[in-house]
């Protein structure tokens, strides 16, 4: 009921039109954050924040993941994340997981900007569509995150009456030994805890949403076009937010960008679009906040630490940064989307 009320209120223009920002610009957002009135920021992020780390997004025509799956002989690209197909043919998924597994990716400027929001005491939560767990590598902890489409961080047996849990190191060992992971208890398949097509989103997504969004005073959207439900509907409940867009397209708001945003109509009062890459947008906002030097130093220090840990472990090691993250930003759908 609350969701439908928010949907109709947004669609019909029945919600509050209080103007919080003194200017609908990046500068206005920075002044709002620095004013001390902005204490509960929620970040919503998608595959676009990880592309500069070398992880492909899903839908780009030539470079996206779905455009480069021919070698797996799938009936259709999305089948690699379809739960029924996976149970019958798990080989393509685990071959892809081996190709994109951690050890070769480091968090981006975006990931560390979110970590800075936490360090500054203004991050309420980060809602991510990604399964690469780079948010964790950057320093966010479990309570800071809602991994809406699941994670490689843990895995479970797919058998309903078993559901034995396995950790990241166990799954990585199986994948890199070219084994199809099988449960040690019942011999059924073991699947990473990512949300495949045909599966429900984690319960924590819905329970946290009800607690977080009524308290949110600024929503930052980065690296997602908000086309995938139910994730895309979250902004409908809010009065104000800024959106960072990976696509450098000033017509974005007119061409179906999700979330009920209004960037440039006569009635616009809350939404701000930064037309740039996600990393450039975060650097620009950090600069206006007076945080840029601190952010750049954090990125440099953390990347040096990750490189050092990886060298100590050597090829195939699993205790460094790779052990904290897993690969490929994911965009599978839940049952609610079908």
Binding site annotation covers 132?
yes
Binding site annotation covers 25?
no
Binding site annotation covers 58?
yes
* Contact yes or no for 264/252 (Cβ under 8 A): no
* Cα gap 63→153, rounded to integer Å: 26
Q: Positive or negative CA dihedral for 58, 63, 66, 68?
A: negative
| pLDDT tens-digit profile, the chain (338 residues) | 444 444 434 433 434 566 788 888 899 999 999 999 999 999 989 888 998 988 866 555 555 565 557 777 888 888 888 999 999 999 988 888 887 775 568 999 999 999 999 999 999 999 998 888 899 999 999 899 999 888 888 899 999 999 999 998 899 899 888 889 999 999 999 999 988 888 888 888 888 988 988 888 888 988 886 666 666 566 655 555 555 444 434 444 433 444 566 676 777 777 888 888 899 999 999 999 999 999 999 999 999 998 888 776 654 444 444 444 433 334 444 444 43
For tokens 């021919």, the residue is: 70
Question: In the sheet where 165-167 sits, what is the strand order?
Answer: 165-167, 150-157, 190-194
Q: Positive or negative CA dihedral for 119, 120, 121, 127?
A: negative
Fold of 56-104+150-194: SIR2/SIRT2 'Small Domain' (3.30.1600)
* Cα gap 285→30, rounded to integer Å: 7
**Which CATH architecture fits 19-52+108-149+203-304?**
3-Layer(aba) Sandwich (3.40)
- Burial class from Cβ neighbours inside 10 Å (0-12, 13-18, 19+) for residue 207 reads exposed
Binding site annotation covers 224?
yes
Binding site annotation covers 287?
no
Catalytic site residues?
149
Binding site annotation covers 282?
no
State the DSSP H helix or E strand holding residue 297, giving kind and residue range, or none if neither. helix 292-313
Q: Domain spans of the chain?
A: 19-52+108-149+203-304, 56-104+150-194
Binding site annotation covers 84?
no
């Amino acid at each position: 009921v609350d969701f439908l009320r928010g949907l109709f209120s947004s669609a019909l223009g029945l919600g509050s039109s209080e103007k919080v920002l003194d200017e609908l610009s990046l500068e206005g957002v920075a002044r709002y954050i620095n004013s001390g009135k902005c204490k509960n920021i929620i970040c919503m992020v998608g595959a676009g924040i990880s592309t500069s780390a070398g992880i492909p997004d899903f839908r780009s025509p030539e470079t996206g993941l779905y455009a480069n799956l021919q070698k797996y002989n799938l009936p259709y690209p999305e089948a690699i994340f379809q739960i029924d197909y996976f149970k019958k043919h798990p080989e393509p998924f685990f071959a892809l997981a081996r190709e994109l597994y951690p050890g070769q990716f480091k968090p981006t400027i975006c990931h560390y900007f979110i970590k800075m929001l936490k360090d500054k005491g203004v991050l309420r939560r980060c809602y991510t569509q990604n399964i690469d767990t780079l948010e964790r590598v950057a320093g966010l902890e479990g309570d800071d995150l809602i991994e809406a489409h699941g994670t490689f961080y843990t895995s479970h047996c797919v058998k309903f009456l078993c559901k034995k849990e396995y950790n990241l190191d166990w799954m990585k060992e199986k994948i890199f030994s070219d084994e199809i992971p099988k449960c040690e208890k019942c011999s059924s398949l073991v699947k990473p805890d990512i949300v495949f097509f045909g599966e429900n989103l984690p319960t924590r997504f819905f329970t946290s949403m009800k607690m977080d969004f009524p308290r949110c005073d600024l929503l930052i959207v980065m690296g997602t076009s908000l086309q995938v439900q139910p994730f895309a509907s979250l902004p409908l409940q809010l009065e104000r937010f800024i959106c960072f867009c990976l696509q450098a397209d000033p017509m974005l708001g007119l061409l179906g960008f999700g979330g009920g945003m209004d960037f440039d109509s006569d009635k616009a009062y809350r939404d701000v679009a930064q037309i740039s890459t996600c990393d450039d947008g975060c650097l620009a906002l950090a600069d206006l906040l007076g945080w840029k030097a601190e952010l750049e130093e954090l990125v440099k220090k953390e990347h040096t630490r990750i490189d050092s840990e990886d060298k100590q472990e050597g090829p195939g090691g699993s205790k460094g940064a790779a052990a904290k993250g897993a690969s490929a930003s994911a965009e599978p759908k839940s049952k609610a989307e079908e």
